[in-house]
Amino acid sequence: MTGEKLAMFGGSRAVPPERASKELVGWPVITDAEREAVVGVLDSGQFTSNNPGAGQVQLLEREWAALVGTTHCAAVSNGTTALELALTAAGIEPGAEILVPAFSFIASAVAPVNRLVVPVFVDIDPVTFTMDPRAAAAAITPRTAAILAVHLHGLPCDMAELRELADRHGLLLVEDAAQSHAARYRGVRTGALGDIAAFSLNVVKNLPTCGEGGLITTNNDALHSRLLRLRQFGEVLEGRVKRDYVSHELAGNAKLSAVQAAFARCQLDRLEDYHEARDRNVRAMLDRLAALPGLRVPHCPEDRTHAWHILRFRFDAEAMGIEGVTPGGLRAAIERVMRAEGVPLQQYQRVPLPRQKALLTREGFGGYPWKLHPGAYDKEGEFPNTLAVIEDSLTLQRWHLNPASGPVLQDCAAAFEKVWGNLDRVATLARAMSPATAEAAR
Ligand SMILES: Cc1ncc(COP(=O)(O)O)c(C=O)c1O
């Protein structure tokens, strides 16, 4: 501990602005390979996934299935659509229920709603931040048809437990792998762990495209064939020389463009190398931070690898020796002092999913799908772990995705150490930012 003066009180910043350069912490990393690939598509005149032969979309699908270890992959327009089509392809009908973790990005809840499937929320494990299998078991009803295993922040869920639960109750096990590209659980990649899996290729993800995109993986031939129809107006294109415009089932347009696929293929070429560099950089930072009392760094159980999409840090006031603060007050104080040091810590998810305004008011679909079973969804559940994590933690996003970010992450570690060397100042600030304790003291 240095006791060095905090930047907030006139000291120098642990991470000066010029240090956070595009080269070291920008994401995605764009090279000449991407530039050439995008121009190559423009010159080819093959822009969509329904051009005959092996276009960029088909090549991306093959390469992603090979890496994940599934027989099939279907590319679609984004990760939310990927989740929606996965549910529909598997025959999850309107009015059915799906277990969704209370802690996730809104898409994990909205995708089922878009298909008139009711999300039933389940608390998380406070260490892995993924669905607690015991809470999931307790949430099953006769209407439950599926479990959505969200590998949040890049860490695979406890898939053995969820698989056992799904098999015991005859449920579909869907992976939301939007944040967990190439992570492994007991040697198997996310995307090959459930019955069907959805990935996002959004530009901020570990496997980004230059905009929006999604991938759906499965080993099930029938599910894959149906996905191909669902992304193309219900038409069958495969094995045909000429499109016949016959729609076999109701479906819209959810295709990925060839430009997005070509860009993503370049990123895929470097995914493993980037992961190894990220793993080294992040672990070097976390090893250093593990020594700071009351700072709970992200944990990766022995049987998994972590894609390190988002790094979440929890703060334990008692272990830090700080009294008279609320977890939220301490979090807010740490955010302020760390930002002053040049570390862009931020909240990611401010309420449990069921307390998102859209899900409280249920506006937009005339009260459906909940209205399909009147009275069944009047009570809001309890999500103590989700609430605690939201209150007492902050995240680092994007910077560490860049494989060259190692030295900046060391600076970030130095910023944490500096802040921990000034816990008396942090405590004073945290007390001022703790409304409940301030009121009690009055
Ligand atoms: C956990 C999770 N699920 C689903 C999605 C949706 O992906 P997209 O933004 O590509 O629609 C995201 C994207 O942020 C996500 O983080």
- The pLDDT tens digits for 406-417 are 999 999 999 999
172 occurs within a structural domain: yes
Nearest Cα to 377, choosing from 40, 14, 76, 121?
Answer: 121
Establish if 356 belongs to a structural domain. no
The answer, yes or no, to whether any atom of ligand 1 lies below 6 A from the CB of 175, is: no
Domain count, the chain: 2
Residue 361 lies in a domain: no
Name the residue at shortest CA distance from atom 8 of ligand 1.
79
Same domain, 217 and 344: no
Q: Does residue 439 carry a pLDDT above 80?
A: no
- Asked whether residue 215 falls in the same domain as residue 331, the answer is no
**Using a 6 Å cutoff on CB, does residue 78 contact ligand 1?**
yes
Residues 310 and 186 in one domain: no
Strand order in the sheet with 144-150: 72-76, 214-218, 196-200, 172-176, 144-150, 97-101, 118-122
Domain boundary among 210, 243, 269: 269
Report the SS3 class of residue 423. helix
The CATH code of the domain that includes 275 is: 3.90.1150.10
Is residue 425 packed enough to be buried (19+ CB in 10 Å), middle (13-18) or exposed (0-12)? middle
102 lines ligand 1 (CB under 6 A): no
Q: Is the CB of 232 under 6 A from ligand 1?
A: no
In the listed set 269, 303, 321, which residue is the last one of a domain according to the structure?
269
Can you tell me which atom of ligand 1 is nearest the CA of 176?
3
Quote the pLDDT of residue 436: 65
**415 & 288 share domain:** yes
Distance from the CA of 100 to the center of ligand 1, in angstroms?
Answer: 14
Probe ligand 1: pick from 78, 179, 190, 200, max atoms within 8 Å of CB?
Answer: 200
Which residue range forms the structural domain that includes residue 317?
7-25+271-350+386-441
The answer as to whether 435 is a domain residue is yes
Amino acid letter for position 185: Y
pLDDT tens column, 187-244: 999 999 999 999 999 999 999 999 999 999 999 999 999 999 999 999 998 888 889 9
What CATH number should be reported for the domain holding residue 160? 3.40.640.10
For ligand 1, say whether the CB of 150 is within 6 Å of any of its atoms: yes
Q: pLDDT for 329-352, tens place per residue?
A: 999 999 999 999 999 999 999 999
Last residue of a domain, one of 246, 269, 292: 269
Residues 196 and 335 in one domain: no
